[in-house]
Chains A and B, each alone.
Chain A
């Protein structure tokens, strides 16, 4: 009897402890998601006042060339953005040892991540400037006439991918570094006794035991990349004037399209439908990743 009472008290305490988070989560995440789902079936003007229109918004989505284009761009960005993980592993491995000034290097790599994305994008915009940018001036020294990186449809998306990788590498690296440091030193000592060199140790011990961390990083990266917005918003410009960039068709992302519909052209029901599609894609891709992890993730 007494034991049961204890348990009930314990449960009560547990609920009390998670209540603030659960409440916040419900109020600020779950409820808006449900509301947005509802609004995606309505026509919702600039000042509220929605009207039920059934699946109209979704029918429109299917034949919207901008959504198709935005999806292609977003997937390309997400796919290429994953390159930041192997790069981050290499840097993490290089910084995972005792050497002078290791803290300085770690800070330098992490710096882009703690810098405001808008500031990052502004600086890259200057670097990429076709006539006055540092990159093209450097290229001119070796006789190469560089393009207008962010205004040329052939280069714009890749230019943004480079910024994306550059700014996420520090975050990925820190997580992976933590993963590496949690690998017990005994394994390496034993491998060294058996005559395994550093490369062999890295491939046979570090990589497999790092895979759960790499998996986490990849899930987070994919979700983040699919929601790419701020970088492009600053690089390409905001609202309607972004469309004067000839490379805009290659830069437009799903969230940017959502922003334009929700906040620029006052078409919020349709915007809600766009994010519901994005939500669905994120759920599916994350589920796929969890399925695939069985093939490559080793839990020690």
Chain B
């Protein structure tokens, strides 16, 4: 194992130097005056291979109406996307237009490496929570491309076997807990649900909002994890673990809840609208699953998130890049995306997406936008995302009460927020 790891470190060193070299190489002057008829090529950075054909189609369509602009779609798989983008931005070689997500947005905006929108940019055609997500210090950046909300995916076969009624709109935490208890069958190795710890977007953030708590204060300065209501939102999950209606953390570490759900070991799986192609392509799941809205706690809530197209601050063709972003955020582009990809963000274009699988109640994901809460972020979201796991793992593993873990997390998170 030895020398190969050594090699990796060497490679890292090499990368550092390469970044340094690009830095010096790219600081040359760009003093040419903008010529509207100049032929330019824009680069467009994306991470999802499934959406690459749609992105390519959009790029080609854009060139039809803007013959002087060609767009090159550059795919970097998710695993390396952010590491590579950070290095490219540092070296001045970032794509002109690229995908941005919520957790990373403020980091890029506060470091001024993405460009704010010109005056008069219209973000009112997107769900407000998404437009707000991509607003930093009063300025909007880029335009939302798609959106996702969370629902309860359930296995009809397991419900039928235990003669439990399918979840209905307006169901509550109590209904959910009741169903989880009835669906759990220790002998068959089936659990009512899975209290997943690695995806707060699908689990904890939703129940925290439903309990009336919050993750981060609206000004981004204070952690909400010491708020009793936030803790109630976490306790929702640790109670299910205590009652063994969810597999324990060790089991979920070995086999992910998604894998367990797709092999009939979990009856109710909290997942996103992005799971549709996953389940519809899964031999076991495709004719057994359906989706229901998240159960209601003190209030009804789901986390909404979506990807945006943003313009790199160092783009040599900022005007053309913005033109392209505007096209990507248009109704026409949304309709093309909705046919094959995720839910488009442009209001009123989502029906095509929901109609794709008539056997699933996909409208659930659209209806929940009305009570959706924004994805919690700050300038260095990644730092406290790590703290969330470091501290809550102990509660999930039953080593200490969730109140204690949550209080420790609040303290750690407040320290990290103070450093931002």
Contact = CB atoms under 8 A, between A and B. Distances in A.
Contacts of A182: none
Given A129-B254, A131-B251, A265-B380, A32 B5 contact: no
Interface residues of A, number: 57
A81 B111 CA distance: 43
Most central of A31, A117, A231, A241 by chain B CB within 10 Å: A241
Given A131-B251, A131-B254, A47 B389 contact: no
Contact of A150 (B189, B254, B388): B254
B250 A152 contact: yes
B77 to A, nearest CB: 13
Interface string A250-265: 0000010000100111
A246 B382 contact: no
B33 to A, nearest CB: 28
Nearest to A267: B383
Contact of A164 (B1, B90, B253): B1
Given A29-B13, A32-B14, A246 B107 contact: no
A33 interface: yes
Given A130-B250, A229-B8, A243-B393, A117 B111 contact: no
Given A148-B250, A223-B6, A224-B2, A243 B255 contact: no
Contact of A246 (B9, B20, B253, B383): B253
Q: Is the interface of B mostly helix, strand, loop or mixed?
A: helix
Contact of B390 (A46, A81, A239, A243): A243
Given A28-B17, A32-B16, A33-B13, A225 B255 contact: no
B65 interface: no
Given A150-B253, A246-B397, A266 B8 contact: no
B44 interface: no
B5 A255 contact: yes
B251 to A, nearest CB: 6
Contacts of B380: 46, 265-266
A88 to B, nearest CB: 12
B1 A231 contact: yes
Interface string A221-237: 10111011111000001
Q: Shortest 10 CB-CB distances between A and B: which pairs?
A: A224-B2, A243-B389, A32-B13, A151-B253, A151-B250, A148-B250, A241-B198, A240-B386, A244-B197, A246-B397
9 contacts: A46-B86, A48-B90, A129-B255, A150-B253, A229-B8, A230-B1, A238-B79, A244-B393, A265-B383
